[in-house]
């Protein structure tokens, strides 16, 4: 068995190798203009073929694939809108997985357009998650639906989080300086992803050093790296593929994704509370909520939004990491977050790829290189909506 000294040396060498990889110019054919154009044509063709099909169990997987493609490109195919009312009338006959995918598409692409049709079917939906999605859809127009007092959905965590979202605008927000508080992970380097309450506005990542100051460049300027915490759906944090929850994430390592849309730039692996084996986040602690609060420290505990990752992990959200992107930003040219590209709820740092598929700019690589220079990764990242973005 290798000695602890040898293992430590190996870790340093590994981290330095990764740092060299992410800082080098990368060629990734998937991100080339020719491939992006080809993929766009294929996805649109898939969508157009699917919307000609009837909706039933045998075609549901094709429809779900089409919904994903439509969301990715923010693409509303001509002629499909006329079919949505009919699909809503038949939605109660479909399984909960399809219902979830349908409402994610509807929330993303057709907000406020089908309130009349959605309102009467809420009680017929097949899972608490989907019922919450339907209520969130109605809430976009300031509407709600009657839920029978005997419906167990009213005692579910999904309904509690739906109610939390209705009161969220009344809650105080921290400022960036609050994260320099000495009771918050004292003597630790912490990655802080600061965001707006509107996830259409890109945020940025800062690095709080163990001495309680912000990491600066050679000119003495505080380092800020652009980072988007918006899901393509813009659904609330507690729902699958919703916006990145605020709160703490335990850093578990680095990796290179095999997902073409994420791309080859080294990403940061993280877990939320309760994700996978609970010990990954909580260690040997048994009083989970108290442990989480202790990590926040006495000052930050007053900001209730910083517990969203705790609630999201408890309700079952998983696989939120911090990564780069090869998604074509031109899909979002009319959006306020352009040229950033939304994800399915991860933290996404912008990257630029030229026509050949060469990476000419990577905010992801920039901040990753800073944290890979020391011999040990930080233990925590925190996402926070702040008043002074």
In angstroms, the CA 349 to CA 319 distance is 16
Q: Which of 242, 247, 244, 245 is nearest to 137 (CA)?
A: 242
Structure tokens at 174: 């921290």
Nearest one of 92, 86, 94 to 60, comparing CA atoms: 94
CB atoms within 10 A of CB 56: 11
Q: What is the DSSP string of 274-336?
A: TSSSTHHHHTT-S-HHHHHHHHHHHHHTT-GGGGHHHHHHHHT-----EE---S-GGGGTTST
DSSP secondary structure, 38-74, as one string: HHHHHHHHHHHHHTTS--STTTHHHHHHHHHHHHHHT
pLDDT tens, per residue, the chain with 389 residues: 333 333 333 333 333 334 444 444 578 999 999 999 999 999 999 999 999 999 999 999 999 999 999 999 999 999 999 999 999 999 999 999 999 999 999 999 999 999 999 999 999 999 999 999 999 999 999 999 999 999 999 999 999 999 999 999 999 999 999 999 999 999 999 999 999 999 999 999 999 999 999 999 999 999 999 999 999 999 999 999 999 999 999 999 999 999 999 999 999 999 999 999 899 999 999 999 999 999 999 999 999 999 999 999 999 999 999 999 999 999 999 999 999 999 999 999 999 999 999 999 999 999 999 999 877 899 999 999 999 99
The secondary structure of residue 170, as a DSSP letter, is G
Is pTM beyond 0.85? Reply is: yes
In Å, how far are 61, 95, 139, 271 from 121, measured between CA atoms? Answer: 22, 14, 15, 35
The residue behind tokens 């990476």 is 359
């Amino acid at each position: 068995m290798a000695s602890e000294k040898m293992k430590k040396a190996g870790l340093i060498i590994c981290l330095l190798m990764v740092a060299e990889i992410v800082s080098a110019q990368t060629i990734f054919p998937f991100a080339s203009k020719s491939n992006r154009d080809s993929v766009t044509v294929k996805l649109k063709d898939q969508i157009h073929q699917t919307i000609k099909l009837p909706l039933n169990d045998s075609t549901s997987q094709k429809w779900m694939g089409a919904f994903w493609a439509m969301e990715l490109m923010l693409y509303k195919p001509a002629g499909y809108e006329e079919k949505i009312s009919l699909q809503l009338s038949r939605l109660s006959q479909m399984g909960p997985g399809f219902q979830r995918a349908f409402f994610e598409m509807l929330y993303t692409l057709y907000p406020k357009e089908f309130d009349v049709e959605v309102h009467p079917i809420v009680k017929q939906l097949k899972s608490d998650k989907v019922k919450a999605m339907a209520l969130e859809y109605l809430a976009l127009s300031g509407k709600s639906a009657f839920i029978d007092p005997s419906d167990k959905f009213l005692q579910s965590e999904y309904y509690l989080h739906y109610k939390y979202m209705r009161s969220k605008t009344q809650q105080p927000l921290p400022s960036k300086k609050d994260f320099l508080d000495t009771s918050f992970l004292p003597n630790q380097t912490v990655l802080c992803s600061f965001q707006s309450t509107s996830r259409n506005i890109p945020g940025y990542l800062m690095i709080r050093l163990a001495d309680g100051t912000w990491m600066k460049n050679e000119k003495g300027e505080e380092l800020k790296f652009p980072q988007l915490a918006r899901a393509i759906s813009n659904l609330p944090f507690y729902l699958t593929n919703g916006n990145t929850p605020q709160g703490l994430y335990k850093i578990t390592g680095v990796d290179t994704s095999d997902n073409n849309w994420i791309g080859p730039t080294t990403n940061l692996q993280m877990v939320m509370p309760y994700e996978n084996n609970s010990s990954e986040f909580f260690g040997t602690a048994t009083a989970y909520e108290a442990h989480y609060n202790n990590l926040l420290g006495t000052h930050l505990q007053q900001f209730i939004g910083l517990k969203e990752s705790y609630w999201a992990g408890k309700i079952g959200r998983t696989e939120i990491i911090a990564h780069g992107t090869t998604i074509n930003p031109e899909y979002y040219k009319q959006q306020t977050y352009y040229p950033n590209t939304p994800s399915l709820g991860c933290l996404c740092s912008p990257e630029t790829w030229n026509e050949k598929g060469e990476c000419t700019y990577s905010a992801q690589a920039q901040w990753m290189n800073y944290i890979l220079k020391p011999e040990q990764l930080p233990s925590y990242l925190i996402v926070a909506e702040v008043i002074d973005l």
